[in-house]
Amino acid sequence: MSDTFRNLARLSKQGKTYLDHRLVEYGINSGQYFYIILICNNEGITQDKLSAFIQVHPSNITRALGVLCKKKYIVKKDLESDRRTCKLYPTEKAKDIYSKLLGFENEWVNIITNEFSNNERELLDALLKKAEVTLTKYLKSEQKGM
């Protein structure tokens, strides 16, 4: 039996713990940092598109975004054409820590791939991207069957 699932779960858990430790001074956690990264990379993204992109239930996104708004990392702006939809923008506070957040990601990747060759790092990245594409296809087909 393959240990792949358990290894991925362990890496994910340890990665979250690592990030949580680094993010304490900013008052955010590993779950919230991801939203800041995405919104900084996609200024003006709608909440619906964000939900579809990361495939998380809209109520979870609403809760996380509410916390980030309260902490002044993002702002929501209603669309004039449809008040039920809002666009999300990073604040200066989010933009100020953006490069630090990316640095934490790079630190973590460097820690776990320290003993990898460049070819192994590239292969790992390619395989994980392929797995993500496969998972996305699976999830879309599951949703159609519901």
Per-residue pLDDT at 146? 52
* Reported CATH class of domain 4-112: mainly alpha
Per-residue pLDDT at 59? 86
* Positive or negative: CA dihedral 41, 45, 50, 52: negative
Contacts of 67 (CB under 8 A, 6+ apart): 32
Per-residue pLDDT at 2? 80
Q: Strand 45-46 to strand 86-90: parallel, antiparallel, or no bridges (unpaired)?
A: antiparallel
Which is higher by pLDDT, 58 or 9? 9
Q: Is the pTM of this model over 0.75?
A: yes
Per-residue pLDDT at 116? 97
Per-residue pLDDT at 80? 76
- Residue 89: name the closest of 103, 101, 72, 104 by CA: 72
Alpha helices in the chain (DSSP H): 4-23, 30-41, 47-54, 58-70, 92-112, 118-145
pLDDT interval class at 87 (50, 70, 90):
very high
Contacts of 127 (CB under 8 A, 6+ apart): none
Apex CA 63: angle with CA 142 and CA 39, to 5°?
80
Per-residue pLDDT at 57? 82
3-state secondary structure of 90: strand
pLDDT interval class at 140 (50, 70, 90):
confident
- Structure tokens belonging to residue 141: 């087909």
Q: Is residue 1 scored above 80 in pLDDT?
A: no
Which is higher by pLDDT, 129 or 140? 129
Q: Are 88 and 46 in contact (CB under 8 A)?
A: yes
pLDDT interval class at 81 (50, 70, 90):
confident
- Structure tokens belonging to residue 51: 């939900």
Q: Residue ranges of the domains in the chain?
A: 4-112
* Positive or negative: CA dihedral 26, 56, 139, 40: negative
- Summarize pLDDT for 33-50 with one digit per residue, the tens: 999 999 999 999 998 899
In the DSSP assignment, the letter for residue 45 is E
